[in-house]
Amino acid sequence: MTMKDSILKCLKELDLDCKICEHEPVLDFETAALVDERFHLTGVESKSLFIKTKSEKYYIYLTVQGEKLDSKYMKKLLGEKVSVVGPDELTNLTTCVPGCVAPFGFDKELNVRIIVDKKIFNYEKFIFSPAVPEMTVEAKTEDLPKMLEQYYDEILYKELDEEE
């Protein structure tokens, strides 16, 4: 089963109120904005960064468009330096296209963990890629924990008031 299929199956099994749109490939926020307008998507664009620690532990940092990875904060949170996984390693490990990293759906053997920026909960809906550039999902932010609990044993949260 592909990662996309795993994500779509999860959404169906949870019976969540999601909008799923198929379209031309989206690999940047400018094209995403055009797709959002065409399909009347009102959620915030999410950003899933696939990062790894010095000791090769993998994490998804789920945040919103415009936010950057704070390496100092992540080092403090995780106890070691982190870096964004490069495009080749990303594709080899996850089958995700760079720019289309999903917030969940990874093969259990990878043991990917997640860090969620609580800023995402400032929005009623969020938009994410199910690991492919030709599809977009808009979901209610209140349903995010239900989705993540299907794939992660623990969810770390970046608090709103923590220093950037």
CA angle 143-39-60, nearest 5°? Answer: 40
Residue 22 and residue 134 in contact, taking contact as beta carbons nearer than 8 Å: yes
Cα distance between residue 13 and residue 103, in whole Å: 17
Mean pLDDT of the chain, nearest integer:
93
Per-residue confidence (pLDDT) for residue 29, from 0 to 100:
83
Residue 8 has pLDDT above 60, yes or no: yes
Q: How confident is the model at residue 111 (pLDDT cuts 50, 70, 90)?
A: very high
pLDDT in tens, 137-157: 999 999 999 999 999 999 999
Residue 164 has pLDDT above 50, yes or no: no
pLDDT in tens, 23-75: 999 988 889 999 999 999 999 999 999 999 999 999 999 999 999 999 999 99
Residue 162 has pLDDT above 60, yes or no: no
